[in-house]
Structure 1
Amino acid sequence: MDIGSLTSTQLAYGAAAVGATSCTAYLLYKGVRSCLRSDAQRLREDELCLQDGAIFLNHGSFGTVPRSIVAMQQELRKEMEQHPDRWFRRLARQYFSENSAAAAELIKAPTDCVAIVDNATTGINAVLNSIPLSGDDEVMTTDWTYQPVKNTVDCVCERRGIKPFCMCLDFPVVSEDALVKQFKEGLAEHPNVRVCILDHITSPSAVLMPIKRLSAICHSRNVRVLVDGAHSPGQIDLNMSDLPHVDYYTGNLHKWCFAPRGCALLYAKRELKEEILPAVISWWWRKPFVERFNFLATRDQTQLFSVREALSFIQNKLGGQQAMVKHNSELASSAADMLARVWSTERLPIPHHLEAPNMKLIRLPLEGLIESAEDLMMEIYDRFNIMVCTFGIKGVPYCRISANVYNEFWEYERLGEAVLQLRTEKMCQMNAEK
């Protein structure tokens, strides 16, 4: 805030809020506080809309949208309302093309092979409903596949009369080679698999899968590869030319790329893209791949038209994706080590290079003390105003922390204290009930 722009009324209210005895004292308070703010605090207060006092350690679920992007989307809506016909008949088509091209540049793919869609789940549905499958064909997932994607597979298989195959992965992951070996064996046992869905980063377990090796195995058996990269854009440096055995790739832009929610990308190989249709068929379904995903009935698409601005925010405000990910990864790793030490537990037992950069898992010291790890998430929020993802893996409760540029180390320390407090309370309650 520019102190010189404050009105006398704002000064009076501000002085009262902080207990200052005068407007002059309040100005001094504001000036000192501005000088003492950390980079993360300054970014959060000046650039983001996050609620004061709340601790957000779960960026991976829903992301956050910068103030400038919110304002830009509002300007687009205003432009739409000023002349609806011009918008839908001309501008929307132009904006869709420009932002699809920006998404293509992000993953280093040809512009005619990448369309912007509402969500990674939207992209999954488009691909699975378009690929020709019949008879004894099988669609392969794993027990780490995101549940809505499993639901989509089950629905498609049931409607087409084909079979889903869910491979149970060994846990803990001993090594990348062991994981690759298990995929080879699973495909050998199921020779009718025609499509394999690979997570780039599993959710919620945050394992960075070796998709380059796994997709090569699939192609050696004539299996098409669809990658669910919901968490990857903005967290992984994507280059589709380096993934020659990936046939289709979809990833959200509203998580780690700061785009408005309901914004993702869908890539399809040039030789396969023309068979892919949107889940909703509308005006342009006979047009080329990118265009057919535009104008899916009359609707507000402004979130899709904010991609370029969101990527510019990362470049201009955060120093680019590489610098952003370096900061986030280091913070997440340091925080995970601290929490494992404070809780006397350990991080998820997987090789370090298979960890997602910005998300880390730590075992919670609450085994036998909680009925549902998922319910624990809202208990931590209700009690301590901390939002963090909690869930169970093979019956063991884990916490998944996310780290982004607005987070600070003390926030993870506060989480550590909160969980220890809950453990003490639950142990006392359990002993009292005996």
Structure 2
Amino acid sequence: MSHLSKRQFLKSMVGATALPTIQGPTLNQVFAQFANVPANTLAHQEGFWAAIRTAYPVTTDFIQLENGYYSLAAQPVLDSYLKHIQQVNAVSSYYMRTRQFNDKLESQTQLARLLGCSADELIITRNTTESLDTVIAGQNWKAGDEAVMAEQDYGAMLDMFRLQARRHGIVNKMISIPNHPQSDDELVNLYEKAITPKTRLLMVCHLVNITGQIMPIRQITEMAHKRNVEVIVDGAHAFGQLAFNISDLGGCDYYASSLHKWLGVPLGAGILYVRKDKIPGLWPMFGDSSFSDDNIRKLNHTGTHPVATDLAIQDAIRFHDSIGIERKQDRLRYLQRYWTDKVRNHPNIVLNTPSDPKRSCAIANVGIPKLKPAELSKALFEKYNIFTVAIDSPAVKGIRVTPHVYTTTAELDTFVKALKELAG
């Protein structure tokens, strides 16, 4: 390949990542038709969401109600992703040495826009676990230092805190979040009571992954900061699902999320936000002498990795923006309430998600006391072709149910019917 053709290739790469997502005329017409409809009204306009569903390669093998782990990318995003793989492969190391970091910076900048932070406060990681573990392991821990967290937090992060306890002698203070809190103050007070003069770091979920409960992050952050405690927020399920800005969270010190859950990026990308004044104090997990202590890129030494995923972030953001975060949020909340309201008062069904609509969005957890969570999940799949995930912990026993924007109310009707039959 000539030098000129390589340059032409690189130009086409940049051009491809700057073009609007390819969409069929029907979908474009639907967007235009509903452009001025308020998000909360559009949430139950089934025609609009049926058109959105056509943009996703939804399986017909079963009803997918476990979108929280990993939700499929829209077909236009997937098509672009595959094209990125082919284009990068065509010139291999030439792309890696000449365009890789500039293109990644563009993806980083667009993600920062969505989160509402500066691009020099955010890096692209592989997932939420890597992001949060970077912060937890990057603290300058001393024996006797304390950290506060909840038993409902994600297991990988709890494991990392346990590792720091083994390695540095820190003390982990565990609380338990009620499934049905009476107020924000109740939740804030739980965390506050666990704080002592030795507490250095508090971890809290923006949206609890096993129940779908949305936590009052601003109030918890402001309380912790008054006690000189830093706050790390696990936003694995919030980014791309909830309409929020980092400034809404009370000045939290660290925020992390995965992009393959609600933003619709192919597997392999996450984000880590570090408030600018907190960057110098974090130790990198991997050594890199290329950047100063106050440069967030010191935390982002990833080595050689699949760059097509980084490029596809821009495609996913365009598709995400075409729908709109308020529309997504309101539709997802509507879908969750659509099915939970139908079983909420059933004598043999237990909902482990708050009834207040403001305290949850897409995710909810439901159980049938006579069935173990694994038995319920298995019965739903084997008898009714509905895929969910079992959650069996001391505080939460049930299945996590996670619809997405491509989920139909007819599918949820099938799920409700199955749940009632199993409950008896």
Q: Tell me, in whole angstroms, the C-alpha distance in 2 between the residues paired with 1:378 and 1:304.
A: 36
Deviation readout 1:54-112 (Å, 9 max, x if unpaired): 21122112111111111211121112211122221121101110011111000100111
Given the two structures, how large is their TM-score scaled by the length of structure 2? 0.82
Q: Tell me, in whole angstroms, the C-alpha distance in 2 between the residues paired with 1:251 and 1:70.
A: 21
Q: Cα distance, 1:394 vs. partner? A: 4.3
- Residue in structure 2 matched with residue 34 of structure 1 by the alignment: none
Does 2:359 correspond to 1:359?
no
Does 2:182 correspond to 1:174?
yes
Does 2:163 correspond to 1:155?
yes
* Structure 2 stretches lacking a partner, 5+ long: 1-22, 25-45
Given the two structures, how large is their TM-score scaled by the length of structure 1? 0.80
Q: In structure 2, give the amino acid aligned to 1:43.
A: I
Is residue 239–residue 263 contact of structure 2 (8 Å, CA) maintained in 1?
A: yes
Q: Tell me, in whole angstroms, the C-alpha distance in 1 between the residues paired with 2:313 and 2:124.
A: 9
- Residue in structure 2 matched with residue 239 of structure 1 by the alignment: 245
RMSD of equivalent CA atoms:
2.6
| Higher RCO, 1 vs 2 (CA within 8 Å, ≥6 residues apart) | 2
- Residue in structure 2 matched with residue 225 of structure 1 by the alignment: 231
Q: What is the number of residues matched between the two proteins?
A: 381
The within-5 A match list for 1:170-319 is 170=178, 172-187=180-195, 190-281=196-287, 284=290, 286=292, 289-292=295-298, 296-316=302-322, 318=323
Is residue 282–residue 296 contact of structure 1 (8 Å, CA) maintained in 2?
A: no
1:329 corresponds to which of 321, 329, 333: 333
- Residue in structure 2 matched with residue 416 of structure 1 by the alignment: 416
- Residue in structure 1 matched with residue 139 of structure 2 by the alignment: 131
Q: Tell me, in whole angstroms, the C-alpha distance in 1 between the residues paired with 2:115 and 2:396.
A: 36
Deviation readout 1:270-289 (Å, 9 max, x if unpaired): 11123435534457465863
Deviation readout 1:35-59 (Å, 9 max, x if unpaired): xx95444433x32122114211221
* Structure 1 stretches lacking a partner, 5+ long: 3-36, 425-434
Q: Percent identity, please.
A: 19
- Residue in structure 1 matched with residue 149 of structure 2 by the alignment: 141
Q: In structure 1, give the amino acid aligned to 2:171.
A: K
| SS of aligned partner of 2:344 | helix
- The change in CA–CA distance for 1:276 and 1:103 in structure 2 (over 3 A counts) is farther
- The change in CA–CA distance for 1:53 and 1:170 in structure 2 (over 3 A counts) is closer
Is residue 348–residue 423 contact of structure 2 (8 Å, CA) maintained in 1?
A: no
Moved more, 78-87 or 398-407: 398-407
Is residue 93–residue 294 contact of structure 1 (8 Å, CA) maintained in 2?
A: no
